[in-house]
Amino acid sequence: MERFFSRRARTIRRSVLRELLKFTQRPEVISFAGGTPDPETFPKDELSRIAAEEIARNYAKCLQYSTTEGDTKLREVLLKLFAGEGIEATLDEIIITTASQQGLDLVAKTFIDPGDVVYMELPSYIGAIQAFRAFQAELVGVPLEEDGMDLEALRERIRADKREGRRPKFIYVIPDFQNPTGVCWSREKRLKLLEIASEEDLLVVEDAPYRPLRFRGEHIPSLKALDEEGRVVFLFTLSKILVPGLRVAALVGDREIVSKVVAVKQAADLCTPALTQALAYRFLAESDIAGHIETIRAHYRRKRDAMIEALERHMPEGVRWTRPDGGLFLWVALPEGADTERMFPKALERKVAYVIGTPFFVDGSGRNTMRLSFAIATEEQIEEGIRRLSEVVREELAAVSAAAGL
């Protein structure tokens, strides 16, 4: 069948990560590998009641086709939420997407011609890498530091690309508690990024799934809230603050961009399910969403603290990790020479799992890194799992030292 595939499709491979995840789902494995939120945070009773009511009373709307733009009331309640964050937008500047993964697909389809350059954090979100690669973008990774991207490196790279005749198109970033590292950008770097985008005339795609999940530290404005030129396309999802199973997200941007994205989405799936939009709207409109988010934050803060404490207790010298103030993930770097992919089968033998780092690096680096999610495991499992993982790491480091000594 290969002969029928498009050039694009021939280069698309299934995510290594998703294939690896299959091995981690045996019940005896303590898994830090998943990227999913904890089902214990799902407001199931409220959603069950809302669903029964909505379908019985409002079936002619919630079981029918929706508009491509998305339900007006849902868009209004989201705009109110964003206004509280300093993002001022109107109804023609927002479109509902079938989760943020579709937002990434629509962004790619709307902006990328084969060969166009997209800048991303190194490491960055695998789903974004897949979405952009599917449209034959040239992906350039820019090192991520503790407070955000290395912006001098970004600027130099953009200028070099322009000199060499490439076409820089946009910069994709996850400024809040990034997947995979948990890093949060400083205010200074946010402002500086917008300055560079303006000088170099690029768009910025801001992916903010974890933004509401801050457990400590002070609020830093989103790029979209700081954006004075309409250069920022803002992606927000309900997957982490409500549930992933509805696949409801929103894209906010300049009205000319949103109008084009609506046309592109018409051809992609016509509309996001009316039913899941209706449930999302009713939950946001009727529930104590601020209180719900506060509960979720406390839930993940406890688990994050448990993981940091376990890492401090068990990990050998030379291993470093991030200390995120929000989100679901932290990031571990072993000393150079270690290889988390080689280590993976040994970890599975000890019944602990993580995600290897390399798929998050568009340049194929990061062999000594891994992502740990603290979202799903209990505090007891976190302690035991990190203990097991530390043993595997000790063995790997011993093997590296032995090899270096030869």
Q: x/- binding map, residues 216-235, to its own copies, per CB under 8 A? A: --------------x-----
CB of 125 to its own copies, least distance (A): 11
Q: State how beta strands 329-333 and 320-321 pair.
A: antiparallel
Cβ proximity to its own copies: between 93 and 396 the closer is 93
CB of 92 to its own copies, least distance (A): 13
| Contact present, 55 and 62 (Cβ < 8 Å) | yes
Among 32, 111, 177, 234, interactor with its own copies by CB under 8 A: 111
CB of 59 to its own copies, least distance (A): 4
Helices (H), 126-245: 126-133, 151-163, 187-200, 223-226
Closest CA to 168 of 156, 154, 158, 178: 158
CB of 146 to its own copies, least distance (A): 29
290-294: Cβ within 8 A, 24+ apart: 292/43, 292/241, 292/242, 293/212, 293/213, 293/241
Q: State how beta strands 138-145 and 30-31 pair.
A: unpaired
CB of 69 to its own copies, least distance (A): 10
Residues 25-54 that bind its own copies (CB under 8 A): 36, 39, 42, 44-45, 47-49, 51-53
Among 81, 264, 293, 399, interactor with its own copies by CB under 8 A: 264
Among 29, 203, 204, 220, interactor with its own copies by CB under 8 A: 203
Q: Using CB atoms within 10 A of its CB, is residue 81 exposed (0-12), middle (13-18) or buried (19+)?
A: middle
68: its two tokens = 């491509």
C-alpha dihedral over 112, 115, 116, 121, to 10 degrees?
100
Q: State yes or no: residue 273 binds its own copies (CB under 8 A).
A: yes
Cβ proximity to its own copies: between 124 and 322 the closer is 124
Q: State yes or no: residue 165 binds its own copies (CB under 8 A).
A: no
CB of 236 to its own copies, least distance (A): 16
34: its two tokens = 């998943």
248: its two tokens = 């409801």
Cα separation, 163 vs 199, in Å, equals 15
Q: Which residue has the tokens 């400083």?
A: 186
Cβ proximity to its own copies: between 258 and 319 the closer is 258
Cα separation, 114 vs 104, in Å, equals 16
Q: State how beta strands 352-353 and 203-207 pair.
A: unpaired
Cβ proximity to its own copies: between 192 and 247 the closer is 247
Q: State yes or no: residue 56 binds its own copies (CB under 8 A).
A: yes
Residues 295-324 that bind its own copies (CB under 8 A): none
Among 190, 214, 247, 282, interactor with its own copies by CB under 8 A: 247
Other beta carbons less than 10 A from residue 25's beta carbon: 11
Q: Of 213-221, 262-270, 303-311, 320-328, which part binds its own copies (CB under 8 A)?
A: 262-270
Cβ proximity to its own copies: between 114 and 217 the closer is 114
Cβ proximity to its own copies: between 52 and 285 the closer is 52
Cβ proximity to its own copies: between 18 and 313 the closer is 18
Q: Of 62-70, 157-165, 314-322, 364-372, which part binds its own copies (CB under 8 A)?
A: 62-70
Does residue 369 come out as left (phi exceeding 0), alpha (psi in the -120 to 50 range) or beta? Answer: beta
Among 121, 176, 206, 254, interactor with its own copies by CB under 8 A: 254
Cβ proximity to its own copies: between 98 and 390 the closer is 98
